[in-house]
Structures are given as C-alpha cells and as structure tokens.
Structure 1
Amino acid sequence: MGLTITIEKKPLKSGKKSKLNQFLIKPNRKVFLTSYVFSIISAVLTIYLILLEKDMINYLISKEYEASIKIIYSILLFGVLELFFEYLRNIFTGKTVEKIVKDLRNNVPQKLLFSEYSYLERKKSGDIISIISNDIELIRDFLKQYVGELYYQISIFCIALFFAAKMDIKMTLMSFIIIPIGFIILLVISLPIKIYTAAQQAMFGKANIIFSEAINAMDVLKVFRIEKFFWKKFKENLKSYFRSFMKSSIFESLLFQINIIIIFLPLMAIFWYGGMRIINGNMTFGELIAFLQFIIIFLLPLNFFSNYTSTLRKAEAAIDRIEEIINLKEEESGNEIMISPKHEYDIEFINVDFKYPDTEKYILKNFNLKIKKGEKVLILGKNGIGKSTIAKLIMGYYKPIKGNIKIFGVDINKWNLRELRKKISFVDQHSYIFPEKIIENIKYGNYNNNNEEKIHKIIQLSKVNEFIDAISVGEKGKKISGGQKQRIAIARAMFKDAEIVIMDEPFSSLDEKTAKEVFKNIMEYFRDKTILMITHKIPEEKYFDKIIKLKNDSMLEEEIL
C-alpha cells in the first residue's frame, strides 16, 4: 500500500488542523483507516474483557465457582486476541509513520533542489539544515507517539461511554462534571507551547548558522582573533533557546500536575458514590470495579490529550517552517529543448531591466547585448556593476523584470532550463569543490561521459596534473589552494564541452604565469565555442572578438577587435 507526502503547488490552507491533515494525514488516509480498524477491534476487546471481569467478580462473590472458571477461560482467550490486535495496531502504525517520515525526508530536500535559485541564494544553510533535521524529527515524534494512538483512544472512549451509561447513567453523568472543565484548562495552558517551540526552533537554527559560519571561516576567525566574538554570539543564541525551552517546560509541567488532579478527583468521587450504592443494594461490587475501569478509560484519553496537545503545538511550529519549503515555487521552465536552426545570435539581451527580489535598486536598466555563435567576448567593469548578474540571467537563475533574453534564438522563458543548462559551461571564481577525489569533481561536468583520454587531456591543459594526486580536497576544498580550486572548476567546465562557456573571474586566484598558460589552453580548447569572460582584469585581447565595458546605468562601451 503506497504512502505519499503531497507537495502542493498552491499554498497549504491556514489553520493547525488543516495543515496536519492536508500535509500528512489526508494523502495517507487509506493506511491510517486500516490502523483505525485495528484500533476499533482492540478497543472492543478491551471493553469486553472489563465486562467479563465484572461477571467473574460477581460469580466469585456469589460463590458460583464453575461459572467463574468458564469466565476465566474466556478472559484468557479474548486477552490473547486483544494483545494480538494491539500488536498489529502498533506495528502497522509504526511502519506507516516511518514510511511517511522517510518520504518527508526525501521530498523536502528534493523540493529544495528543484526550487527557484533565488530562495537558496537568500536562505541561510543553517536554517535549512535545522528544518530538515530538527523539525522533521518533531513531526516524526508527534506521528509515532500520538497519531496512531489517537484512533485507539477515541474508539475506546466512545465504547466505554456507551457501556458505562448503560450500566449506570447517574454515575456516568457525575464523572463528567469535572472532566470537561479540566480538558478546557489543558487546552488553554497548551496554547503558549507552540509559540515558545517556534522560538526554540528559530534560535536553534540561528545557533546552527553561527557555528556553521565559524567552522567554514576558521582561518579568518583565528587570524583576526574573533573566536571569542563568535563564541559570544553562539552562547547568546543558546541562552535565548534555553529561555524559550524553560517557558515551554513550565507550561508542560502545569499540564502534568493538572492532569493528576483531573484523574484523582473523579476516581475518589465515584469510589465513594459507588460504595454508597452497593450498601443500598443498587449496585454489585463487580459493577463498581467495572465502572471504575471505565472511568480510568475516560481519564486515560484526557491524560493522552494533555500530552497530545503539547506535542501537537510543537509539531504545528515545525510544520509552519516546513510549509515554507513545501510551498516553494519550482523553477519556471518552458518546453523547448532544441536550438533554433536559423538563429543569428547565441546570446541576446533586448531592452532588459532587472533587479534582485526584495530590493529596489535596478542592476540592469534597458540593457542590450548581442553575441554571435563562436564569438569570444570579454566583459569588463568594476565590482557590483552587474557583470555576474548577466551570467545568472543567461543560465535562467532569474527572470528579467522587463525585456527579453534569447539564448540560441529562443526566448529564455520558452526554454526547458535543464536542457538549456546542458548547453552552458560555467566557471565561477568561487566554484564549489565537492569533498571527493579531484577526478570525481572534474567528472561532474559530464558524469555520464567516461572518456578517459579526454579527461587526461583536460587535466593537462588545466594544469590540474600538478596536484591530481592530492589525497583529499577537504570540505569545500579547504585542503587545496584557491588557485587549485579554480583549475579544478575550469577542468570541470572543459569536460562538459558545452556550446556556450561563461567564465566569471576564472583566474583571480592563479599566479600570473599559470593564469596565462591556462588561459591560452582554454581559448584554444574552446576555439569553436561561444565564450563570455567576465573580469575586471584585462587578459590578452588578441583572443577576443570584442570587449564590452559595462558602466553605470547599464551603459555599454563596445570595442570590436
């Protein structure tokens, strides 16, 4: 029986119940319904055992030993059946919950990987890691401990209520004088738990971010002696987390204490009232024992719901954070997968306006650019002028606010972005290096290509051969130099061998001699490709067809070579 986690393209409905149902319960209602059936059977058997115990006690008091022995056999038989169905219920619910959480752990990262680039660029990695690990674990605890048990508690409560009312309606009504009041108090006290749990998770996420930044920038911390500053920031966030945790714990402790009072008072009242009815001959001792068990059954769901509401508030806070990811838009992508056969330009910007989300300043305004197939174009300009933004727009990471961008003669909005990016190689000055072997990092350019001869040639041309035998590059390439990282990134782009090659400050960390050698090798290797090189340093001009100098307000100064 299949289990699913629904990833909605439209936002989830607001409200606690609808979020949990829509996101977790509703897509798997068939498997939860099966668990509900087991819960009903188990609850019916539990109530039937109480009724058998009542008859057995009455038979023993009246000294009808043979009848009591027959009842004992029945109790043993139905007791085994009850344990069997209880086992099935727990096993089935446990497997169901684990499969749901497994789907959740698969689908949330999947949603992130295929979401809009702009979200990932804005979001802190520590926050994302906190959501994937801590928030999903909170939901897992809620589902495993309470959702499966919820069906059982509701079932046994309703069945016990029916038989208790049938046995003695007055005592049943009396027992419910205190219970509803206590239940309302529990709900009210549990409300702040969600608020403080949300604060806890936010503080925990911030602490993760601070520590992650400290680890990744350890060399900066040490050389500028700011370890204590980061440690202070980390401790302050932990203190805030601890304060929220303590406030939440106070309310959880109140829930526990009130729960004890709610359990104790009805039992004492019924025991006294039942004893009086036995003395007056209106009730048997077996009926009183059975009724006390019914009262316990009434109260156990109350105890369950006190914990349920507390954990529910925490799960709601976690769902609120996960919902942000689940409702992320996937990259808007067209259906075009083929290059226009009659296109004149590989890259065209036509009156393009662009600014980043959540900002007011335009990076590009009425921007125009045309690059023919096979042209080698150098873009120059000071930092922050918009050079790297041009590369991001070509790769479809962002859409223009106004105007058109055409790649290979096709409007970028019509392109299937995965197919478009297959035709583009990119080298960034901060290209990510995976903590794997160097050869594996190069193969990521075109992982299905196992041409060893081509890889060997590229390693030589990019000068990666000088350090190819390095044991490990370390996390984020920390065990190799900045220049070595750039050479690996260049080799990766060469191995992809795409129609368009974009290089954004590809030699910024290389020494002059190595940079010149690698530059010449790249230009020769990509002689038939369209090259767009973005830099603020001027390399050898003879290799370029034109130089474009980007100025303020997106003005271009074009020089044909």
Structure 2
Amino acid sequence: MKTDFIKNKVKALFIDEIYAYFLPYRKYFVYGMLFLVLSGSLQLSLPLLLGKSVNLSFNPGTFTDTNTLMKHLGILIGMLILQFSFTFVRNYYFLLFSEKSVGTLKKDLFHKYLSYPLPFHNKNKVGDMLSVITNDVMVVRELYSSQFSDLLYSTFILIFCTGILISINLKLSLILLIVFPAIIYLASFFGKKIRKTSKETQSLYAGSNSVIEEDLHQIRSIKIFGKERKEVSLFARLTEDIIQKTIHNSLFRSFFSLSSSFIIIAALIVILWYACIMVVKNEIVIADLVTFIVNMIFIINSFSTITQFFGNLERSRGATVRLVELLNEKVETEDFVNSSPMDFQHTIEFKNISLSYGEADVKVLDGLNLEIKKGEKVAIVGPNGSGKSSLLNLLLRLYTPTGGTVEIDGVNINQIGLANYRSKFGVVSQDLELFNRSVIDNIRYGTETIDDSRLESVLAHSNVIDFINDLPEKEHTKVGKNGSCLSGGQKQRVSLARALYKNADIMILDEATSALDSSLEESIKANLDSALSDKTLIFVTHKFSLIENFDKIIVLDSGKISAIGTHQQLLQLNKTYATLYHLQNRPVTIKKVA
C-alpha cells in the first residue's frame, strides 16, 4: 500500500498520458535520487557546521586561536566541493532520464504519424502536426530535464530543513509554516489560468506553423497572383495574437511568482524581527539563530523552485493537449496475430461496396460490385468525381468502406496482415510523390532488394534512361523536395520505374502517363505491355487510346458502375463511355478569322 502511495505521488508529477514513456528509464531516476540524497545531506550539514563556527567566534572561553576556525573552514570548502560534485552527477542522471524518455516519446509520435490512416492526414494540417512534434515535445523536454531534478532536490531540502527549524525553535518555525497554505492556494488559482492560456498559445503556434508550411509549399501560386503582402499580413496578425497570449501567460506567471516572493519575504522580515527580540531575551543563542536563518534561506529557495515547477507543469499540461490527443488517435489496423497470408491466385472482388467521406457523409461509392481476375488488364474510366481514385484507395486499404467488403481469393482484405498485403501492390499515383533523395533511392524505395539487372531493365522500360545520364550526378542526383529538380514528365517516369522495380503482383497506374508527350507515352505503353505481361494491371486514365486493347474497361459514374466491357462493346452499348470517347477524339476545327 505504501509503495502504491509513493508511486501515485510520483506519477502525479507527470502529464498522465506520457508517464509510460518515462518508466523504461527509471534506473537513471533511481541513480539520480541516490546522488540527490547525498548532495542534499551535505547541504543540510553546512548550516550546522557554520553555526558551530559562529558559536566558537562568540564564545571567548573556547576561542583561543584561529586553528579550529581554519579547520572548520577547510571542512566547509571540502563539503562544498563534494556537494557540487554530487549535484553534477545527480543532474547528469536526471538529464539521461528525461532526454531518453522524451526521445522515445518523439520517435513514437513520429511512428504514429506514419501509422495514422489517410483520412486523419487529410483532415489535419502538416503545420499543426509539425508544431506538436517540435514545440509541444520541447515543452515536455524542458519540464522534465533540469526542472524536474531541481523539484525533487528542493522537496528533499524543504522537508528536512523544516524539521531542523522546528527542532531549533518552534515559535519561529510556525511563523514560516503559516505562509505555506497561502502559497499553495496561489499556485492552484494561477495554475488553472496558466494552463488555459498555454493551451490557447500553443494552438496559435500550430496555426502560424501551418501558414508557414502552406505558404512555402504554395510559393509559386503566391507569386503568380501577387499575394505576398496578403500572406505577410495574415502571418503578422497570427504573430501578434501569439505575442498577446504569451504576454498574458507571462503576466499570470509573473504575478504568481511575485506574490509568492512577497509573502515569503514578509514572513522572513517578521521572523528576523522576532528572532532579534528572542536574542535580547536570551531565548535563542547566536549559533542557533545563524543555523535557523541559513536553513530558512534554503527553504525559501526550495519553495520558490517548487512553485515554479508546478507553474510550468500547468503550462505544459495546457500546451500538450494536442500532443495527448495525437497519442490517443487510432492508428491503422495492425497485422492480426492470426492474419491470413497474402497469396493472390484467382480474383479481387468488391462486394456491395459503399464509401462516404467527411463530416458531411458524402457518398462517393454506392453499392458497387466488381470482380477482377488474376492476370487481367483492367481500365477504369469515368467523369471527374465518379469514384475512380476512391476505388483504388479502398483496394490499397487507405480507406475503410462504410459498407460491403473487398476480398482477395475469398478472404476479406482486412483479415490480411497490412504490411504483407501492401507489399503485393506496385503503384503510380496521380499525385506524384518523390523524396528528396537520389533517383536510385527513389526507385528502390518500395523494396529492400538490390538487383542491378532489374534496375537496368526498369530504367529502360520507364524511359528514365533517356534523361538520367544528363543529370549532374546521374542516378545519384538528388531530385529535390517532391522531385522539384525534375520536370513533370521525369517525375512521372521515376515513379513508374519505382513501381516496376518493386515487381509486385498487382500494378495500379493512376494517370501514370498524364505528364508525358504523345510519342513518349506510346513508347512507354509498348514497354509496359512487355514488362507487365504476367501482372494484374488496374489502369485509371482519361486517355482512351491507351486502353483500347484492355481485357476489361469499367465505366464509373456517380459512384456506381455504369458498364463493363471491352472498348468496342462500350462504344456501342454505353452512352457515358461513348460520349467521353468522342469528346476526346473529335476533330479540332479552326475557324478562320475574318
């Protein structure tokens, strides 16, 4: 029971949801506590030795030469050096305790970021998430580094110094103890205010980070539309709001600190005044008075440190609300212990699939049924907003259907280990995404396998070989942020090479050639026919010339399948397909200007 009580008290010093991150490193905490006790004990001995030295000086009967005083001085200096050494080691272990714990928290938060489902990322701004993993985590780090060590040390000193004061003189001690409840009340009152304003300040910081991140990402559009001043004005308003909230928060903390100091100093003046009266009346000796005053100074410093820590703790609780919320967010479904192995042999089936997005619950797929056989070349076409990308997102388990199931060989894909499942897909996304790494690193990103012969083959099939030798460092050239150092067509070819290099069973190409000119597109199409002859291909496109020879074409319209068939069948039987085809292939007439 006593152990549980102590554990609960220690736990109360931590922000609840992050307590678990500190437990694995508790050995450093124990080592720190050991040296805390040693350094604290030495500090507590200093006033006693100092009191004895003063007593010798004021007692003519015992003070015959300076040797004893010099001996006491030597002991005091030695104790100070030893105390400082113990304090250094104490701070080192508490620093290890906090840095390793917060480092684990930061790594876990980053892992969670990558594990959250796609809908989470769609509704949360990158700047907000970046603010949490930098600003909020740093608030926790600052609190539990030196401040936490100082709190425990000050608590140790406060408890034992109070005991010493009571043993010296109860009356003087009572004057000091009376002020403690008043300071505790102030800490509680201002703590709530500080927590609230800190939460608001941190939200404003997140908002300003979002503006910076978005504006730097959209710098081209800002310049084209000449909106630099507008964006600067928006950021200036946010910055001004942050300044006001920060000042507000600082005023609360300052008023709390000054109020506490005023009460303590007032108590100190009263104690000194009353102590002088007691000395005159011979109710206390000079040596005890010196010891009492030094211990009282220790208590004042300790109490100041403790109140400052709890003020910062309240600030941290407010500032890390978003951090706690993110830690509690649901991640993507982890692999089941008894998950089915992914071994695609026969069919992919969409059974009565429905999908709705967002808070408005907009239905983008409605009662969709579809079967794709292994080895088939399947195209998906339809007007914008018909549900093509949504269908692919479901197949890749980036979204979960609101109704129905997706099955592979009769097994619900949600029962298949996620990492194993996605390893079977090669994808070229409509939104090209490259890392600021070398061309070859981007191509090999989808697999750990290093196969030079396969790399040579995909460079040829994707036509990356046509431009890679012109790059400054050839295949080792960094492509820039999201491929900014490459043209749109080059980015698309690198993305295609990455999908081919993965050599997955199922290939998904979503507008994979949209940035290529016609001749290059035809060349790559011929290469793909050869490279993907034994693969299952799902091809989303608006270019009907690329899919005329596909095994099956699926026409989507308003979230439903309008028709399924070959190119010739759909031209004759499906109005939507025929309309889209003829709009794309109608001859262009140039009117002569009179």
TM-score normalized by structure 2?
0.87
Deviations 1:133-164 (A, max 9, x none): 11111111111132111111111111111111
Shift of 1:357: 4.9
Does the aligned pair in 1 maintain the 2:187–2:311 contact within 8 Å? no
Shift of 1:521: 1.5
Counterpart-to-counterpart distance in 1, 2:251 and 2:489: 55
**1:375-524 correspondence runs (5 A):** 375-446=376-447, 448-468=448-468, 469-471=470-472, 472-524=478-530
Counterpart-to-counterpart distance in 1, 2:466 and 2:57: 93
Kindly tell me: are residues 227 and 466 of structure 1, through their superposed partners in 2, closer, same or farther at Cα, counting changes over 3 Å?
Answer: farther
Equivalent pairs, count? 545
Shift of 1:73: 4.5
Tell me which residue corresponds to 1:555.
561
Tell me which residue corresponds to 2:29.
32
Q: Please tell me whether Structure 1 or Structure 2 has the larger radius of gyration of its CA atoms.
A: 2
Sequence identity of aligned pairs in percent? 27
Residue 404 of structure 2 aligns to a residue whose secondary structure is: strand
Kindly tell me: are residues 232 and 85 of structure 1, through their superposed partners in 2, closer, same or farther at Cα, counting changes over 3 Å?
Answer: same
Tell me which residue corresponds to 1:216.
217
Does the aligned pair in 1 maintain the 2:387–2:559 contact within 8 Å? no
Counterpart-to-counterpart distance in 1, 2:425 and 2:529: 16
Does the aligned pair in 1 maintain the 2:342–2:416 contact within 8 Å? no
Tell me which residue corresponds to 1:19.
16
Shift of 1:376: 0.5
Counterpart-to-counterpart distance in 1, 2:96 and 2:15: 23
Query: What amino acid is the match of 2:36?
Result: S
Residue 501 of structure 1 aligns to a residue whose secondary structure is: strand
Does the aligned pair in 2 maintain the 1:336–1:415 contact within 8 Å? yes
**1:40-439 correspondence runs (5 A):** 40-63=37-60, 64-65=62-63, 68-332=69-333, 333-334=335-336, 335-336=338-339, 338-339=341-342, 343-345=345-347, 347-439=348-440
Residue 351 of structure 2 aligns to a residue whose secondary structure is: strand
Does the aligned pair in 2 maintain the 1:429–1:507 contact within 8 Å? no
Residue 396 of structure 1 aligns to a residue whose secondary structure is: coil
Tell me which residue corresponds to 2:576.
none
Worse-matched range after superposition: 246-255 or 306-315: 306-315
Counterpart-to-counterpart distance in 2, 1:84 and 1:387: 68
Shift of 1:206: 1.5
Shift of 1:488: 1.0
Kindly tell me: are residues 60 and 42 of structure 1, through their superposed partners in 2, closer, same or farther at Cα, counting changes over 3 Å?
Answer: same
Counterpart-to-counterpart distance in 2, 1:430 and 1:67: 83
- In structure 1, the gaps of 5 or more residues are 1-13
Query: What amino acid is the match of 2:528?
Result: I
Shift of 1:28: 3.8
Shift of 1:44: 2.0
**1:1-12 correspondence runs (5 A):** none
Residue 366 of structure 1 aligns to a residue whose secondary structure is: strand
Shift of 1:532: 0.6
Deviations 1:354-406 (A, max 9, x none): 22353412221211110000001111111222111111111111222221111
Worse-matched range after superposition: 27-36 or 204-213: 27-36
Deviations 1:116-145 (A, max 9, x none): 232223221111111111111111111113
- In structure 2, the gaps of 5 or more residues are 1-10, 473-477, 568-594
Shift of 1:86: 1.6
**One of 551, 554, 574 as aligned partner of 1:545:** 551
Kindly tell me: are residues 211 and 305 of structure 1, through their superposed partners in 2, closer, same or farther at Cα, counting changes over 3 Å?
Answer: same
Does the aligned pair in 2 maintain the 1:547–1:560 contact within 8 Å? yes
Query: Please, what is the CA RMSD of the aligned residues?
Result: 2.2
Worse-matched range after superposition: 20-29 or 190-199: 20-29
Kindly tell me: are residues 59 and 16 of structure 1, through their superposed partners in 2, closer, same or farther at Cα, counting changes over 3 Å?
Answer: closer
Deviations 1:2-41 (A, max 9, x none): xxxxxxxxxxxx9985516734544544432332232222
Query: What amino acid is the match of 1:271?
Result: L
Query: What amino acid is the match of 1:48?
Result: S
Counterpart-to-counterpart distance in 2, 1:485 and 1:242: 42
Counterpart-to-counterpart distance in 2, 1:201 and 1:408: 49
Does the aligned pair in 1 maintain the 2:428–2:495 contact within 8 Å? yes
Does the aligned pair in 2 maintain the 1:54–1:286 contact within 8 Å? yes
